[in-house]
């Protein structure tokens, strides 16, 4: 019995040794496979780079064989490509921007009685539905270059309690009922910015508007001057922004004087002193900005000149012919505390 127990113990030791050997053998195999994988991973890019170098050498050799393109042919090919790509790029930009803004508009129907003479109407045209090719090109280019969907602007004149739109076309200034304009033009969208008059200013009268209309109908239209006016920059644009800031400061002073909240006398005097300083700065800047006395009629200058006729805008600096439709989508440098209310989109198609 004792001999059998000794044999069984030796067999168990042999089995344990065999198991350890198998584990060690599998570990060595795994390590060997890992070394092979690492070697292949690091050597593969080297072999690929050798192949790329050989292909590049062959390409250089082929380039020496292939004749170069004459510069006139090269210029013709690239000019043709640019002439094809630019209109497509402009089309994508213009239409994408228009459709994006159209999706954000919250349309609020407006009763005719809510309009008043002097309200500014911003128009987003469908450029491809306009009556003439010149007008289509004009609308398309203005949308692309001026970076705004509002490419046209007009002003409201009330007649028999109904709003009429005064606007500028290629063939002159026109007036028609707003409802008829929307039915015939079918723009992509129309918004109105109600005119908020200074409490001390008189309401805009229809007879004065009729006199203005009779005068501008005699003038020649310069629609393409829009792009010259849009280049307002340097001291001229700084003066424009200063006049906008002065309008905001005057509105703040009036609010301080009429508010139910009691402002101290010192605060009101400080605000008045700030306005005096801005006026001195405005006069200094106006002396260094060239003034063009020639008036050129187009959509932006029509609306600016209409408002200047009632003393709401300065006729000197900035001149009415330096306004573009996109200016009326933002703050305008009115005299006094007159301003435009937030835009209300009342038509979308």
Tally of CB atoms within 10 A around 270? 12
With residue 85 as reference, give the H or E element that holds it: helix 71-104
Give the pLDDT confidence score for residue 44 in this predicted structure.
Answer: 43
DSSP string for 260-320: SS---HHHHHHHHHHHHHHHHHHHHHHTTS-------BSHHHHHHHHHHHTTSS-SSSS-G
> For the purposes of burial, counting CB atoms within 10 Å of the CB of 101, is it exposed (0-12), middle (13-18) or buried (19 or more)?
middle
Quote the tokens at residue 132: 């003439």
Alpha helices for 125-264 (secondary structure H):
133-146, 178-185, 206-216, 226-229, 234-258
Quote the tokens at residue 259: 């508010």
Give the pLDDT confidence score for residue 65 in this predicted structure.
Answer: 52
The domains of the chain are located at 70-104, 107-232+289-348
Give the pLDDT confidence score for residue 122 in this predicted structure.
Answer: 95
Among 293, 292, 306, 301, which Cα is nearest to 323's?
A: 301
With residue 345 as reference, give the H or E element that holds it: strand 344-348
CA distance 104 to 68: 52
pTM of the model: 0.75
CA atoms within 13 A on the CB side of 148: 17
CATH of domain 107-232+289-348: 3.90.1720
Residue-wise pLDDT tens for the chain (349 aa)? 444 444 456 656 665 555 555 545 555 555 555 555 544 444 444 444 444 445 444 554 444 555 677 888 888 888 888 888 888 888 888 888 888 888 999 999 999 999 999 999 999 999 888 888 888 999 988 888 888 889 999 999 999 999 999 999 988 999 999 999 999 998 999 999 999 998 877 789 889 999 999 999 999 999 999 888 888 888 888 988 999 999 999 888 888 888 777 788 888 888 889 999 998 998 888 888 877 778 899 999 999 999 999 989 888 767 888 899 989 988 999 988 889 999 999 999 8
Instruction: Supply the Cα-derived Rg of the chain in whole angstroms.
Output: 38
Give the pLDDT confidence score for residue 3 in this predicted structure.
Answer: 43
> How many residues in the chain?
349
Across 212-238, b (16+ Cβ under 10 Å) vs e yields bbeebeeeebbbebbeebbeeeeebee
């Amino acid at each position: 019995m004792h001999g059998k127990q000794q044999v069984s113990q030796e067999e168990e030791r042999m089995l344990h040794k065999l198991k350890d050997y198998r584990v060690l053998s599998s570990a060595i195999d795994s390590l060997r496979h890992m070394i092979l994988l690492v070697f292949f991973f690091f050597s593969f890019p080297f072999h690929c780079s050798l192949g790329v170098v050989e292909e590049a050498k062959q390409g250089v050799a082929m380039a020496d064989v292939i004749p170069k393109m004459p510069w006139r042919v090269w210029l013709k090919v690239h000019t043709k490509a640019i002439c094809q790509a630019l209109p497509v790029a402009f089309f994508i930009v213009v239409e994408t921007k228009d459709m994006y803004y159209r999706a954000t508009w919250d349309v609020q129907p407006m009763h005719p009685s809510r309009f008043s003479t002097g309200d500014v109407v911003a128009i987003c045209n469908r450029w491809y539905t306009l009556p003439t090719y010149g007008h289509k090109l004009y609308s398309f280019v203005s949308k692309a270059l001026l970076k705004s969907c509002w490419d046209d602007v007009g002003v409201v004149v009330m007649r028999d309690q109904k709003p009429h739109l005064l606007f500028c076309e290629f063939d002159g200034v026109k007036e028609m009922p707003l409802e008829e304009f929307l039915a015939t033009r079918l723009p992509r969208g129309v918004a109105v910015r109600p005119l908020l008059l200074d409490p001390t200013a008189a309401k805009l009268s229809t007879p004065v508007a009729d006199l203005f209309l009779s005068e501008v109908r005699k003038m020649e239209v310069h629609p393409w001057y829009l792009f010259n006016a849009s280049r307002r920059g340097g001291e001229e644009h700084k003066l424009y922004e200063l006049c906008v800031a002065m309008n905001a400061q005057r509105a703040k002073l009036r609010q301080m004087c009429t508010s139910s909240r009691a402002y101290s006398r010192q605060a009101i005097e400080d605000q008045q002193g700030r306005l005096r300083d801005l006026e001195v700065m405005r006069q200094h800047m106006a002396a260094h900005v060239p003034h063009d006395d020639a008036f050129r009629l187009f959509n932006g200058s029509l609306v600016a000149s209409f408002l200047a006729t009632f003393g709401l805008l300065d006729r000197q600096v900035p001149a009415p012919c330096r306004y573009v439709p996109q200016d009326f989508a933002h703050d305008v440098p009115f005299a006094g505390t007159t301003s435009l209310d937030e835009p209300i989109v009342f038509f979308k198609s």
